[in-house]
């Protein structure tokens, strides 16, 4: 948690209404809103790249500097491809991009121009980092009683990392709202804990009541609260 405490965001600045709306919408789904929106941005960035930026010289240059995608996003590309036709990952776009990088690497090996790590940052990592920051800033800068009410009644639960980042910065800006957020967060976590206990109780052989789906999946929501969702900003900060 030490690293988190040092990342303080700037003092209150203008609220983005678009990002505010996206945050409010995300509260109705399970999981951490910041993690899920970041993951969505990563997936969207990959599909956009495949379709619209395959022949963009600046994108191609960035991809060459980073040796393509980082391992996390390389395997996200594979995951999206395997998910099926709806994800818009086409072998043609992928092959054009990867063949270009392969040619570049063949030339590097010929010239003994070797490096153990890429010269540039993965293009999708950069987008994920910026997206995570935008939504965190929006949560902090747009926070009001309406946002808190929506968060309070929604299914979503901020993960440890994102709750800490929001809370630490919010105490600097508005202590009252920070306290309200803390109360809501604790209420959500206590409910989740009770749901998990209910599942344990109902799986006892003496129990005659079947656990609900909500109770049977409590472990997943606890895991996501503790570890966040599968984004590069979460996985790479381990």
The residues that touch Zn ion, with contacts defined as CB under 5 A, are 32, 34-35, 70, 73, 122, 124-125, 159, 162, 228, 232
Distance (Å, whole) CA 167 – CA 71: 32
By C-beta, is 34 or 89 nearer to Zn ion? Answer: 34
CB of 25 to Zn ion, least distance (A): 16
Distances (CA, A) of 62 to 41, 89, 120: 18, 20, 7
Element spanning 224, H or E: helix 218-227
By C-beta, is 3 or 109 nearer to Zn ion? Answer: 3
**Contact present, 171 and 137 (Cβ < 8 Å):** no
Neighbours of 130 (CB within 10 A): 13
By C-beta, is 65 or 202 nearer to Zn ion? Answer: 65
CB of 66 to Zn ion, least distance (A): 8
CB of 133 to Zn ion, least distance (A): 13
Q: How far apart are the first and last CA of the chain?
A: 11
By C-beta, is 4 or 202 nearer to Zn ion? Answer: 4
Using a CB cutoff of 8 Å and minimum separation of 24, what contacts does 180-185 make?
180/145, 180/148, 181/143, 181/148, 181/151, 184/148, 184/151, 184/152, 185/157, 185/158
CB of 108 to Zn ion, least distance (A): 20
By C-beta, is 73 or 221 nearer to Zn ion? Answer: 73
CB of 73 to Zn ion, least distance (A): 4
């Amino acid at each position: 948690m030490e690293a988190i405490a040092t990342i303080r965001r700037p003092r209150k600045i203008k609220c983005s209404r678009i990002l505010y709306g996206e945050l409010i919408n995300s509260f109705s789904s399970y999981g951490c809103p910041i993690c899920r929106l970041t993951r969505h941005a990563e997936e969207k960035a990959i599909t956009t790249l495949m379709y619209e930026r395959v022949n963009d010289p600046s994108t191609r240059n960035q991809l060459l500097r980073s040796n393509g995608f980082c391992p996390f996003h390389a395997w996200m590309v594979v995951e999206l491809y395997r998910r099926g036709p709806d994800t818009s990952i086409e072998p043609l776009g992928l092959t054009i991009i990867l063949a270009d990088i392969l040619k570049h690497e063949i030339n590097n090996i010929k010239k003994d121009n070797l490096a153990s790590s890429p010269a540039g940052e993965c293009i999708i990592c950069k987008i994920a980092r910026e997206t995570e920051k935008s939504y965190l800033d929006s949560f902090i800068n747009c926070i009001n009683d309406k946002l808190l009410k929506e968060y309070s009644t929604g299914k979503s639960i901020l993960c440890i990392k994102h709750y800490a980042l929001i809370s630490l910065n919010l105490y600097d800006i508005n202590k009252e709202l920070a306290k309200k957020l803390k109360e809501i967060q604790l209420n959500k976590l206590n409910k989740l804990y009770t749901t998990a206990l209910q599942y344990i109780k109902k799986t006892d052989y003496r129990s005659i009541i079947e656990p609900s789906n909500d109770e049977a999946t409590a472990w997943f929501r606890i895991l996501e609260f503790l570890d966040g969702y599968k984004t590069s900003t979460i996985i790479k900060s381990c």
